């Protein structure tokens, strides 16, 4: 059983279908009580960091997600969901995040490349991790984002991607994982990541 957190700011259809294809029995949580009952959570999101946190706070979901993490139960943050797991975001000024992973979220420095970073790109695995089980070394995923996570502790970075700069594209801290790419749009590699998370 896996529960998707519905913050009201993203379409859950594609991630829900992808989790079902990966073998998951999917529920959707719109209340703190439903989050509290979850065995494992997926936290998706699109849009800005402030809007994401505002939605979680207004629905009473932020503290429930923190309690879930403290209880040692697995969470997978996807795209904005990964970013919201950090302490602060710098989009439109500084906004407090969920504070589950030490670090901040800042704008990507793309060099001569356009923003947002949109399209297929490789994730280089920096550490072995159950999330990467049975993935090829040349694993490509689909990205759409303009901001990146900067973990305070280098050991939390388990995947990196190059786009004008090298940035953390997959993070792990204990029972918490985050992926900047969209696994639900990343074909076989994305499906394998979701399947691996469901085993946690």
- Residue 158 to residue 37: CA distance in whole angstroms: 29
User: Is the bond leading into 187 cis (omega within 30 degrees of zero)?
Assistant: no
- Residue 165 to residue 170: CA distance in whole angstroms: 15
The yes-or-no answer on residue 117 being catalytic is no
Looking at residue 70, its pLDDT comes to 98
The yes-or-no answer on residue 79 being catalytic is yes
- Single out the catalytic residue among 10, 149, 182, 195: 182
Looking at residue 182, its pLDDT comes to 98
Looking at residue 8, its pLDDT comes to 87
| Structural domains of the chain ordered from first start | 2-198 (3.40.50.880)
Contact 102, 80 (CB under 8 A): no
- Single out the catalytic residue among 68, 145, 168, 184: 184
Read off the tokens for 14: 């594609």
Contact 5, 69 (CB under 8 A): no
Contact 60, 33 (CB under 8 A): no
The yes-or-no answer on residue 160 being catalytic is no
Q: Averaged in consecutive runs of 10 residues, what is the pLDDT profile of the chain (200 residues)?
A: 92 94 97 98 96 97 98 98 99 98 98 98 97 96 98 98 99 99 98 98
- Single out the catalytic residue among 79, 149, 168, 189: 79
């Amino acid at each position: 059983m896996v529960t998707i957190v519905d913050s009201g700011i993203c379409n859950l259809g594609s991630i829900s279908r992808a989790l079902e294809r990966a073998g998951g029995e999917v529920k959707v949580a719109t209340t703190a009580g439903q989050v509290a009952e979850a065995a494992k959570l997926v936290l998706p999101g699109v849009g800005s960091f402030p809007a994401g946190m505002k939605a979680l706070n207004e629905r009473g979901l932020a503290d429930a997600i923190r309690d879930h993490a403290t209880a040692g139960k697995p969470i997978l943050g996807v795209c904005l969901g990964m970013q919201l797991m950090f302490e602060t975001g710098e989009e439109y000024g500084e906004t407090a995040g969920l504070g589950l992973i030490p670090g901040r979220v800042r704008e990507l420095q793309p060099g001569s490349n356009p923003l947002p970073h949109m399209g297929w790109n490789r994730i280089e695995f920096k550490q072995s991790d159950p999330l990467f089980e049975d993935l090829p070394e040349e694993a490509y995923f689909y990205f759409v984002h303009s901001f990146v996570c900067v973990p305070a502790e280098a050991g939390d970075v388990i995947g990196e991607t190059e786009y004008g700069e090298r940035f953390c594209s997959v993070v792990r801290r204990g029972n918490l994982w985050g992926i900047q790419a969209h696994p639900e749009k990343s074909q076989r590699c994305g499906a394998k990541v979701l399947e691996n998370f469901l085993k946690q």
